[in-house]
Structure 1
Amino acid sequence: MAIRRLARLGWGRALLLAGALLAGWPARAEVRLTDDHGVEVRLAQPPKRIVSLLPSLSEAVCELGRCDRLVGVDRYTNWPPALAGVPRVGGGLDPNIEAIVALRPDVVLAATSSRAIERLRALGLKVVALEPRTHQDVQRVLLTLGALLEVPDAARVWRAIDAAVSAAAQSLPPAARGLRVYVEVSPGPYAAGEASFIGQTLRRLGARNVVPASLGPFPKLNPEFVVRADPDVILVSSRAAEALAQRPGWAALRAVRQGRVCAFDAAQSDVLVRPGPRMAEAARLMADCLARAAAPARPTAAAAGGRP
């Protein structure tokens, strides 16, 4: 019936009318972006099914309001709680390829260091490689994910993080400024250097990192390096804190002798080492540690919960 009515209008006018009607329909624009490997990724439309192989990227997707699109995550993703029931696909560096393929993702989010990227691409999957290491990287990754997921106000997430870090810095007493700090992110020991996002947060809090930028964002150190640096404050996991004094020469460190060791439990450690939406919470944890360290020294053992 509709076709006969269009035919009576004449095919030329009918085509113009059809074009006008179609112009009123919302079009799904192609998504195009360049990832941290310099690879241009194109998708016909924003992805509905996402696999994330890095906890900070999973957290960023959720903070941008697209948690429901995550159909698979790596084994270390444990926040927010809404992701508890999402299938795990192994580790981020070397995930279970078959499990990922079975989930039929529109896109896979991975760290640039993941060894699975080329294999996933060879199987025809779209992969976006992103790895935030600095504050600037976190901002850029949030905007990139915002473009990928059609979140027009993605910049607000970064503004909230940035404002909260500034608020944490303003909360510190003058005595906390200039404290020399060592942050251990994992056994090895691996430390957070000045060039890392953790180092940048410390600098904004007015602290001095004993690990210079020249050593890289997260260098593996000779324990003797820390002995020579003799930091005022040490930030470390609760498990590592238990044995600090047993490390050669570490019992003599002023931070150990004066009880200025902030020991963080597993959940707090996750917050500290993930460059994403919870960086504001990490800044508050570090600020609380520095404020307590600035109080009159007292030779006590490190307390759990991030408190010296």
Structure 2
Amino acid sequence: MNKQSKIISVFLVIFIITILAGCAQTKPASTPDNIMVVDDLGKEVKLKEPAKRIISLYTGHTENLYSLGLNDEIIGVSDSESFPPSALKKQSFSYREDAEKLIAAKPDLVLIRTFIANNYPDFVNKLETAGIPVAVLYPENVDQFLQYLKKLGKLTGKEKEAGELVDQFNSQLKKIGDVVAKIPQQERKKVFFETTKDITTCTPDSIAAFILEKAGAINVAIDAKAVRPGSTIASYGQERLLAKARDIDVYLVQKGEMNKTREEEIYLRPGYQAIKAIQNHQVFLVPEALVSRPTMRLLDGIAEIGRVLYPDYFKTV
């Protein structure tokens, strides 16, 4: 091979290497439908890429999307938003209205909860018939909540941020646990937690019961049974409640859309004067959003109840 042929060969090799390198750099990082989660109905929700136009029809979803750092991606929210304040500026949608309004907004993901799927199936069917992915998600306990955060992260391209939220939640739980561990058993308060004014409470496997436990409370209604399979609401009744009247140190009332009872009303209920907490003026209202809504603010709920029950121990939390 002469000198000129060698030079041409070298240039050809360099040219081929350059072409191959360029192809490697432009190769797509993902393939179609490579994002998939199984929602709470057992349905596979598939996306070609992370959702960029999201409509959330549940306040908990909205709050968690913001916690993941999503703002511009949220193009619509429910008509009952309260937190964060910026969510109130988003366009609102309702599952009680015709689905056409939502379809016209061209979302690439709609987030709903099981209540909507069970009670408004035609609304959901219209969305899916129009080719809009619908994810039905509603964690009933804290373990499910942490898995739910990861599913949200996968659907929105925020898996790293979701993992950080899970770590943060567990880390804060440990710190609170260290505080509660210092409270002597004889100082632990026995608590009844009212969810609605017709004397319902939370089931032992619910998020609210978890909050009570982590705040160091002894739940006097640990024997509560769900009103129906899959529900975290339990009917307790006045007779059962008054049978434990002398044991109830603190009477907590969840205040929200389901229960708008005022504190003074509880003191005036017939028969309630027998309850130890009523006699000692130990009735407290706690926001539903902090004790039952599956968001990172559950940590605030634990701290708030902890300060009610054990102010000396929780003053630094």
TM-score by length of 1: 0.80
Paired residue secondary structure (1:170): helix
Picking from 5, 8, 33, the partner of 2:37 is 33
Asked whether the 8 Å contact 1:50–1:107 carries over to 2, the reply is: yes
Residue identity in the other structure for 1:100: L
Q: C-alpha separation between the residues in 2 aligned to 1:18 and 1:225?
A: 79
Picking from 200, 212, 221, the partner of 2:236 is 221
What's 1:99 paired with?
101
What's 1:161 paired with?
169
1:175, CA displacement in angstroms? 6.4
Q: Structure 1's 123 and 214: CA in aligned 2 closer, same or farther, altered over 3 A?
A: farther
Paired residue secondary structure (2:302): helix
Q: C-alpha separation between the residues in 1 aligned to 2:173 and 2:269?
A: 33
* Count of paired positions: 278
1:68, CA displacement in angstroms? 2.2
1:81, CA displacement in angstroms? 1.8
What's 2:251 paired with?
234
How far does the alpha carbon of each residue in 1:79-123 deviate from its partner, in whole angstroms, 9 at most, with x for none? 1122121111136xx455233222211011111221333343233
What's 1:131 paired with?
138
Q: C-alpha separation between the residues in 2 aligned to 1:142 and 1:213?
A: 30
Picking from 36, 44, 58, the partner of 2:48 is 44
Picking from 156, 159, 183, the partner of 2:193 is 183
Paired residue secondary structure (1:242): helix
Asked whether the 8 Å contact 2:56–2:110 carries over to 1, the reply is: yes
Q: C-alpha separation between the residues in 1 aligned to 2:174 and 2:187?
A: 14
Corresponding position: 1:244 with 2:270: no
Picking from 282, 294, 304, the partner of 1:260 is 282
Q: C-alpha separation between the residues in 2 aligned to 1:109 and 1:174?
A: 44
Q: Structure 1's 165 and 229: CA in aligned 2 closer, same or farther, altered over 3 A?
A: farther
Q: Which moved more, 1:276-285 or 1:212-221?
A: 212-221
What's 2:229 paired with?
none
RMSD of the alignment, in Å? Answer: 2.8
1:271, CA displacement in angstroms? 2.1
1:177, CA displacement in angstroms? 5.1
Q: C-alpha separation between the residues in 2 aligned to 1:226 and 1:277?
A: 31
1:47, CA displacement in angstroms? 0.6
1:48, CA displacement in angstroms? 0.4
